[in-house]
Structure 1
Amino acid sequence: MQYLDKLVSGLAVELHVPEGDYEGNYKTHVDEIGKTRLSVYAPHYQGMIIPLQEGTLVEVTFWDDVASYSFMSSVLQRVATPIPMFVLKMPDSIRRVQRRNYVRVSASFPITYQVVEREGLGDLLKGNMLDLSGGGMRFQAKVKLDKGSILYANLELPCGIIGTPGRVCRVEPIEDTKYFSVSVDFYQISERDRDRIIRCVFDIQRDLRKKGLI
């Protein structure tokens, strides 16, 4: 099966439970891989194990250096000891979700930023995000920034605040307003922070699909 070899012990995965009492996203790791099933450690939330029932449908997502992947599965068995685990059905197929040309989604989150100047960082300014991807963002600014300038931005995302340098690649006035649309490529961002942003983008996509907007 294509991409099956990417499922390995220790792989970090995210379980998405689409409905029910424990609807949500939970991070965990793969324990063992078999021919027809795989086991993952039971995820925790606020210090408590998520008690998914046998038969619960889950979407499993994982990442590598070039893309992300997902497949649908279900809980076949719950294991309580010695370590709480879920045994999941091995998927019939694994879908490659995204290449590293990055999916961009509309997003409205507050940001703060400082332009890098010769003397150091400039004044702390506020903006509002307009869209987001793993490669960059576009935000609304009150001041016109120079194309090619470097800034340091703090993104206030649902997964937490992420600070990253960015390079301004496009600046356009927003029609009938006093604001500017500023497009930024993430500049020297850590892969850990980029992965956090990509996961946030996936969560936004899920919500939009659930609402029938995409």
Structure 2
Amino acid sequence: MLSDYIIPGNRIELQTYTSNFTDSSNERKSYASKIYDILSEEKIDVMMPMEKGQLQLLPVDGTYTIVFYSDKGLFQCNGRVEDRYRSNNMYILTLELTSPLSKLQRREYYRFSCAINFKFRNLTQDEELTIRDNPFFSLDNDEPMEKGMIVDISGGGIRFISSERFDENTRIFICYQLPQRGSPKDYRIIGQILKTRELENKQGSFEHRVKYTNIDEDDREDIIHYIFEEERKLMRRT
């Protein structure tokens, strides 16, 4: 039964695709919410999402991937907004679940919002040539590095903000530490710039979306585990 896996109060994300950049590439957009009630095996009520203090009036018949954060792990299915209504001064969405619930075993593609200071730099020409033959060649930390802020992270990449602007497909060396992970450890990763845009409300600051191209799998597992731990902390708070 659905209630064997999720219960009212569980946090959820409603994920869709929207174009946030200037070309036609799709970027996943997420809306955070909570389960209000389980109506049947195919229908649930959830709280209307809020963003920056504003209700997000998701359209009736809109379709989403729904990710459930429960004490038994992460689950996912597809759903459709069947209805919107107001009850006891609360705004509610009725969702029809249009696919079976499935458990998510890995979290590398789920971006976790964060604020992590990090350092980065372009690869040198010699480094580019070296890692073609030896993808896990250890890069030198002694080269001058720029500073930036990671604003979301996953096992597959990061999104960061800096005053430096990179062209798409540029490869960069990334170095950061995960907060509250015991003894400090530098995660040294090579990534590729996928998208770049200037922030509308902060001229001279640029947002970059990066995928990891060279990463130790033990480091990837550390990152995924960090995300899982932080998600559980959020569930306990809400």
TM-score by length of 2: 0.47
Question: Whole-Å Cα distance in 2 between the matches of residues 191 and 167 of structure 1?
Answer: 18
**Shift of residue 194, structure 1, vs aligned partner:** 6.0
Aligned to 2:44: 38
Question: Whole-Å Cα distance in 2 between the matches of residues 31 and 86 of structure 1?
Answer: 9
Question: Whole-Å Cα distance in 2 between the matches of residues 111 and 84 of structure 1?
Answer: 34
Aligned length: 150
Judge conservation of contact 1:112–1:127 (CA < 8 Å) in 2.
no
Q: 1:96 aligns with which of 100, 103, 128?
A: 103
Judge conservation of contact 2:67–2:75 (CA < 8 Å) in 1.
yes
* Helix, strand or coil at the partner of 2:104: strand
Any idea what the Cα deviations from partners look like across 1:170-205, whole Å, max 9, x if unmatched? 99xxxxxxxxx7857449958543669xxxxxxxxx
Question: Whole-Å Cα distance in 2 between the matches of residues 77 and 103 of structure 1?
Answer: 32
* Helix, strand or coil at the partner of 2:103: strand
Judge conservation of contact 1:127–1:141 (CA < 8 Å) in 2.
no
Aligned to 2:166: none
Any idea what the Cα deviations from partners look like across 1:78-100, whole Å, max 9, x if unmatched? 0123210101113440122224x
**Shift of residue 51, structure 1, vs aligned partner:** 1.0
Check if 1:158 corresponds to 2:152: yes
Q: 1:62 to 1:51 in 2, by over 3 A?
A: same
Question: Whole-Å Cα distance in 1 between the matches of residues 78 and 6 of structure 2?
Answer: 14
Q: 1:64 to 1:163 in 2, by over 3 A?
A: same
Q: Greater CA deviation, 38-47 or 58-67? A: 58-67
Question: Whole-Å Cα distance in 2 between the matches of residues 190 and 60 of structure 1?
Answer: 18
TM-score by length of 1: 0.51
Output the amino acid matched with 1:18: Y
Aligned to 1:143: 141
Residues 1-214 of structure 1: pairs in structure 2 closer than 5 A: 5-18=4-17, 24-35=29-40, 36-64=42-70, 67-82=73-88, 83-99=90-106, 103=108, 112=117, 126-127=119-120, 142-143=140-141, 156-158=150-152, 163-165=179-181, 166-167=184-185, 183=216, 185=219, 186=222, 192-193=229-230
Aligned to 1:204: none
Judge conservation of contact 1:16–1:59 (CA < 8 Å) in 2.
yes
Output the amino acid matched with 1:193: E
* Helix, strand or coil at the partner of 1:193: helix
Question: Whole-Å Cα distance in 2 between the matches of residues 29 and 111 of structure 1?
Answer: 26
Judge conservation of contact 1:168–1:182 (CA < 8 Å) in 2.
no
* Helix, strand or coil at the partner of 1:84: strand
Q: 1:64 to 1:142 in 2, by over 3 A?
A: farther
Alpha-carbon RMSD across the aligned residues, in angstroms, is 4.5
* Helix, strand or coil at the partner of 1:28: strand
Question: Whole-Å Cα distance in 1 between the matches of residues 120 and 34 of structure 2?
Answer: 36
